[in-house]
Amino acid sequence: MPSLWISNARIIDPAGKRDEVGDLFMANGRIVSSLSAADKKKAKKIDATGLVACPGLVDIHVHLREPGQTHKETIETGARAAAAGGFTSVVCMPNTAPVADTAGTIQQIKDSIARTACIKIYPTGCITVGMKGQALAPIGSLKRAGVIAITDDGDCVQSNELMRRACEYARMFDLPIMDHCQDHSMTVGAVMNEGTVSTRLGLRGWPNAAEDLIVARNAILSEYTGAHIHLQHISSKFSVEIIRRAKKRGVRITAEATPHHIALTDEALGTYDTNFKMNPPLRTEEDRLEIIAGLRDGTLDILATDHAPHTDYEKDKEFDYAPNGILGLETALAVSLDVLVRQNKFKLAYVIDLLTRRPAQIVKLDAGTLAAGAAADVCLFDPEEKWVYDAKAGFSKSSNSPWHGQTLRGRVKTTIVDGRVVFADGRITR
């Protein structure tokens, strides 16, 4: 593997508090402080004038659908979409078929990652057997098999007692719990946010309280057991305030927002386009602004995509019957830059931190930094380039994106994993 030399980039490394124009060097798959004169002559040089070089992006909430749902996505196609979006490390959810509740299924996923993935992918295991919320999965066996967290993702554990026991085991095995916060009894038949828009459209509403109740429950259980609970895709303004107050007490919780919840509201559903249907649903402008405020003050720790591929024929149904979920990996950086940096005046380095160091810390990944000796995982992007996103021509196997056909600003040019270029100039190179 040749050494790499990225020259004249704006290097932003929040972990090292570095933000300067300079050169970045890689050798033997690691970041190095410099190259010898002889090595510089042999190195592959990338002129990054006008570009930003940052740690490879990290997404800890991705659905890759393999095994069992490979008509939607595979580990290979999901990894390619991630690379095109600047992501070098992603964490995949266990709601596959079969679900990832045994060591054997985890091994199957890891084998497929080793064979087909062009980036680093880390598996999670289920909290409960079959993701049915009735009995705990073998959490110790899952940890030994290599999971980095446990979650029932879209099937939030409804039993408070069972969740308490899961917290106790998770703490014992030093695993974070990721929880999709939804009281199912309040969302039966619901397909969008409950409010004036749902009333106007004649669609069954999904109240904020369905999320807020579980967020509060998890804060209580985290405080009671000492377990680390990570709250997925927060969408409610009330949940943000619950998290803010819990963190002030020192409760061991973290939380994420998604690019779509900071960019869109339930008003986008006016045409009944199912590419705007997701779980949790798009909410009001007040909710959107409070999520952004939560990211600004640290109440919400990170951005994550909740990349959820579905086929065209699954999404092309009456709104009530179409599945929830949208793509996110290829558009996350551009959408986040637009909403947070341009519209809300966040510092660019802070937004990069939300997508690199912080998510890596939550699940203890060796990622998210450009320090000498770290893995040479790098994202090189043009923050100003405008481009039209064509979801049907993207790298995912599916195309269910609300940003299809839209002009975005900020484009990934090169993605490097362990010192190897895996994406460049619009093509996968591995």
- Type of residue found at 380: L
Q: Which helix (H) or strand (E) holds 112?
A: helix 103-116
CA distance 429 to 424: 7
Best CA proximity match to 7, nearest among 371, 380, 409: 380
CB 99 within 8 A of CB 126: yes
Q: Which helix (H) or strand (E) holds 48?
A: none
CB 294 within 8 A of CB 261: no
Backbone angles phi, psi at 136, to 5 degrees: -65, 140
Count of all residues that appear for the chain in the document: 430
CA distance 305 to 276: 14
Give whole-number Cα distances, 32 to 61, 307, 366, 377, 416, in Å. 30, 33, 16, 12, 14
Active-site positions read 306
Beta carbons within 10 angstroms of residue 292's beta carbon? 20
CB 250 within 8 A of CB 263: no
Best CA proximity match to 342, nearest among 262, 418, 270: 262
